[in-house]
Structure 1
Amino acid sequence: MPQPEQGPAAVTETPAQAAQPASGGGDAGPLSGAAQTQALQPGESLQVAQQWKDNLKKDFGLNDAQAAGIVGNLWHESGGMNSGITQGGGIGGPNGNMADDNGNGYGIAQWGGVRKQGLIDFAKANNIDPSSQAANYGYLKQELQGDYKGAIDAVKGTNDVAGATAAFCNSFEKPSDPQLASRVEYAMKLG
């Protein structure tokens, strides 16, 4: 695992709009479309984690504990909310290895295989860097509104940080070694 710590009317979103978090995004701020070129420092990680939590609450109607549970998982997976991290700790763009073998994960959720390619394709379609916070958030949002909607439903069925963290871990991340205590510890920083 990477170690850097450092209203009623329906609205249809375009892919570019889906890439933007509920509170905005753009060229500046924690969820920009700019490439990540170095690991976040601990204070930066906390700031980015809070932004993700706030956006998840707005986009999915989650409470503090539920959103914190999701972000705790992502914080653990990404070695500190690093959106441009390759499994093992390197920061930058994704490598070309698309194996889904628990050794080639990429991004905030350590996507592998077809999901890693999905992140790359999403970023390209939205003209943003795949290592950016905006690409990672937008792709996660797309997954949670699509094939992984069940993960949001599982999280919404919980009422505390530990429960939400476990629900997201089991329904979305599905790691071979959950290391749940670490995920909960990160989530507790927010919830």
Structure 2
Amino acid sequence: MISRRRLFSLTAAVGIGSTIGIAANASPSFAANNNEVAWKFFRAKGLSQAQTAGLIGNFIVESGADPINPAATQHGGGPGRGIAQWEGARRTALYNYAKARGRAWSSLGLQLDFVWKEFTSTESRALSKLKATSSARSAAVAVRKYYERPSAHADEARIRAAELIYSRYGDGTAPPPVTESGFPLLKRGAKGSAVKSLQYLLRGRGQKLSVDGAFGPDTQSKVKAFQKAKGLAVDGVVGPRTWVAVISVIKRGSKGDAVRALQVELKSAGHSLSVDASFGPATQSAVKSYQKKNKLAVDGVVGPATWGSLID
């Protein structure tokens, strides 16, 4: 997994009132209609308005400009290039892709094609995560988490940019209500910490099952039972609506399996904690540390935004 380092500076250049990076050498390719070109490109690929806005919002923050700047180079002389600030092996792949087509790497059309090439090959997981979102907010977080993967998250800047793009190019209707923030799509066969957290959360909602991190027939059965009880589509697939229904808002003093799920996710994120089902001072400190690092409200309370950021 690539960990990108970004430098951010205060600017009003994109009109979103947040900290984003500004390219050191904006070029003539920085055209006024770049956002519209990108909007039409990704909509033609089948992405929803919200998903397209989430992508472009990230590219505004990454390239440091509104409209997006395909010639952007990372502030301070870093290795990032283009609308997604590709670096390392991915930047080399961009250069090779441009050379093979006889085009400049800084061409907007070339970079849009390259984004889609990644989405349909090496970054297919990121595309599936993006397609599972239903709001500009959640799309912006999903793109950051699964496609950009930067060290400086700046989620609020990405969200504001995405919502601004949605308001400019959407069909005039209000953006869909925010119901999730980057939750993974889980179904039978899935494995890992997200499944383990799901199992703890289901137990916290009264479902009796083992916690083993494997989405087998018993977990699928319990998901369906929970969905039926909550009036959700009974398909055994854990998407945004099921996640929102199964999570709990927890804080210091909370106890039980939902706290265990939280502690599992915090440990997965690098915090040293005991999974003891008790939301004490150590857990609260870890939550606040995580919230601060990920540009969330630092209140020690674990609600949908924090859950959505934690659960991969």
Question: When the two structures are superposed, what TM-score results if normalisation uses the length of structure 2?
Answer: 0.44
| Residues 67-110 of structure 1 deviation map (CA, whole Å, 9 limit, x = unaligned) | 100110011100121101110178xxxxxxxxxxxx31111100
Q: CA deviation at 1:137?
A: 1.1
The answer for the alignment partner of 2:217 in structure 1 is none
1:85 paired with 2:72, answer yes
1:134 aligns with 2:121: no
The unaligned stretches of length 5 or more in structure 1 are 7-35, 91-102
The CA distance in 1 between the partners of 2:76 and 2:109, in whole Å, is 20
The correspondence for 2:97, drawn from 117, 122, 130, is 122
Cα distance in 2 for partners of 1:57, 1:89 equals: 34
Q: Which has the larger radius of gyration?
A: 2
AA matched with 1:62: L
**Amino acid across the alignment from 2:34:** V
CA RMSD of aligned residues (A): 2.1
Q: Which residue of 1 aligns with 2:164?
A: 189
Match of 1:167 among 125, 135, 142: 142
> Does the Cα contact within 8 Å between 2:30 and 2:71 map onto a contact in 1?
no
Kept in 1: contact 2:84–2:148 (CA 8 A): yes
State yes or no: 1:108 paired with 2:110. no
3-state secondary structure, aligned to 1:166: helix
Partner deviation per Cα, 1:45-67 (whole Å, 9 max, x = no partner): xx2112212211211x1110111
Structure number with greater CO (CA < 8 Å, separation at least 6) is 1
Amino acid at match of 1:68: A
Query: Aligned with 2:70: secondary structure?
Result: coil
Confirm or deny that 1:75 pairs with 2:65.
no
Which whole-Å CA distance do the structure 2 matches of 1:79 and 1:40 have between them?
A: 11
* Cα-to-partner distance string for 1:13-44 (whole Å, 9 max, x where unaligned): xxxxxxxxxxxxxxxxxxxxxxx734737xx1
Query: Aligned equivalents of 1:55 and 1:89: distance in 2?
Result: 31
Query: Identity over the aligned pairs, expressed in percent?
Result: 29
TM-score w.r.t. length of structure 1: 0.70
Unaligned runs of 5+ in 2: 1-6, 15-25, 167-312
Which stretches of structure 1, 4 residues or more, deviate above 4 A after TM superposition? Answer: none
Give deviations 1:90-146, integer Å, cap 9, x for gaps: 8xxxxxxxxxxxx31111100011111111111111111111112211211110111
